[in-house]
Amino acid sequence: MTDLFSPITAGPFDLPHRVVMAPMTRNRAEEGNAPHSLNAKYYKQRSDAALIITEATQVCPEGMGYPGTPGIHSDAQIDGWRAVTDAVHETGGRIILQLWHVGRISHPDLQPGGTEPVAPSAIQPAGEAMTLSGMKPFVTPRALETAELPALVETYRTAAKNADMAGFDGVEVHGANGYLLDQFTRDSTNKRDDVYGGSVENRCRLPLEITDAVVDVWGADRVGYRISPFQPYNDISDSDPEATFCYLTTELAKRNLVYLHMVEMGGNEETGDFLSGRNKLFAKLRDLWPNTLITNGGYDRAKADAVIGGGLADMVSFGAPYLANPDLAERLHSGAAYNEPDRATFYGGSAKGYTDYPFLGD
């Protein structure tokens, strides 16, 4: 039976197993939001993953929503990421850059010139932004003008080119978790009356235009896309997630992307819950998606084997377990115990709680 440690071919990648390191924000970029040597060590330590998907990485200064998150829009950032990819490749690993714009999930303190964040519509999200001077309430964003959107597409195209220059093996378009592309996709945050709002076709227009631009740079076999149909994070929802995400998935499938990366969290009291049938949308998306499907949602080895063995997903991404276990794939394979994560060091700081977790042999 196919399980978590069966080999798999995903596009150009011949992978020894199906354990993926999920993107996780760690807020440890240096001045100028550039990666540095500690980041290179962190990712190199975790290169036993079949694929590493990096922390979300802003495509432009306006895309920033948290202090200390890396970008891919300056020479220093490209150079910093090149050191990361070189380190991962030294051990035979494969690393994908996640392209990110937070949209309204930001604050003027984090924006160039102290301006308002941008969004599809001028709707203030509930909650608070993390700024350099502490938590502050989100503000009402500025709605992007129709005429601005072609330039935004080009921003993603440039970021994709920069990722290629930095030595990545591919890129993932971040369309999940209530950030900009998810804000365009879902009808609670997109109230536009132009060709980018209203119908599901219009709401998905910008995410698909951006995907096409990224594919122009990389080729479809090195581009993935992340969605989170039920995730309410960042004050987002949709009145008909089945219609919205079946349409988006169908359109992405036409583009023959190498993978679709789904976040299962939300809309369900349990996570990793493909098998009960309660999240029937996921089964529909599986039927619509012809290529590699990666799922994410509180998995352990048994649940991962079951979802892969049942044909409902091809790979499983692990988030929090990879924070504290640089050799997570080995631990999953052998059944060894996990290191306990230090939550106080998840966001920001230095090596403590970042690169100092022990390996099994230590």
Average per-residue pLDDT for the chain: 95
pLDDT in the model for residue 100:
98
**Number of domains present in the structure of the chain:** 1
H-helix segments, 167-310: 180-185, 200-203, 205-218, 241-254, 280-288, 301-309
Any domain includes 350: no
What is the structure's pLDDT at 280? 80
pLDDT score recorded for residue 266: 63
CA 340, 342, 347, 352 torsion-angle sign:
negative
Q: Examine residue 359 and state whether it is found in any structural domain, yes or no.
A: no
What's residue 28's pLDDT?
A: 97
When pLDDT is averaged across residues 186-191 and rounded to a whole number, the result is: 98
Calculate what percentage of the chain has a pLDDT beyond 90: 93
Is 306:275 a contact under the CB 8 Å cutoff? yes
The residues that are catalytic are 179
Which tokens is 262 given? 């789904």
3-class DSSP assignment, residue 61: helix
- Band (pLDDT 50/70/90 cuts) for residue 13 is very high
Q: Which domain holds residue 159?
A: 8-345
CA dist 18 and 7 (Å) reads: 7
35 confidence band (pLDDT: 50, 70, 90):
very high
| pLDDT at residue 231, as a whole number | 87
Domain membership flag for residue 70 = yes
Residue written as tokens 């197993």?
A: 17
Per-residue pLDDT at 362: 81
Across residues 340-351, what is the average pLDDT? 94
Percent of the chain scoring above 70 in pLDDT: 96
Measured in degrees and rounded to the nearest 5, phi and psi for residue 253 equal -65, -35
Q: Tokens for 232?
A: 């309410």
**Contacting residues for 120 by C-beta, under 8 A, at least 6 apart:** 103, 143, 144, 180, 183, 184, 189, 190, 191, 192, 196, 197, 206
pLDDT tens track for 258-301: 999 999 876 544 444 444 444 688 889 999 999 999 999 889 99
Looking up residue 149, the CATH number of its domain turns out to be 3.20.20.70
List, in order, residues 6 or more apart from 243 with CB less than 8 Å away.
Answer: 200
Helix residue ranges per DSSP H, the chain:
37-45, 75-90, 149-165, 180-185, 200-203, 205-218, 241-254, 280-288, 301-309, 320-324, 328-334
pLDDT value at residue 268:
46
What are the tens digits of pLDDT across the range 62-113? 999 999 999 999 999 999 999 999 999 999 999 999 999 999 999 999 999 9
**pLDDT grade for 128, boundaries at 50, 70 and 90:** very high
Residue recorded with tokens 């599986």: 286
Amino acid residing at 50: A
Residue 59 CA to residue 64 CA, distance in Å, equals: 8
CA 125 to chain centre: 20
Residue 3 lies in a domain: no
Instruction: Tell me, rounded to whole angstroms, the distance of Cα 75 from its chain centroid.
Output: 23
* Terminal Cα-to-Cα distance of the chain (whole angstroms): 33
Determine, yes or no, domain membership for 353: no
- Looking at residue 162, its pLDDT comes to 98
CB 317 within 8 A of CB 261: yes
User: Helix, strand or coil for residue 199?
Assistant: coil
Tell me the C-alpha distance between 229 and 249, whole Å. 11
d(CA 212, CA 329): 33
Task: Assess if residue 283 is contained within a domain.
Answer: yes
On whether residue 360 sits in a domain, the answer given is: no
User: Is 13 part of any domain?
Assistant: yes
Q: Which two structure tokens, joined as six digits, stand for 250?
A: 């169908």
**pTM metric for this prediction:** 0.96
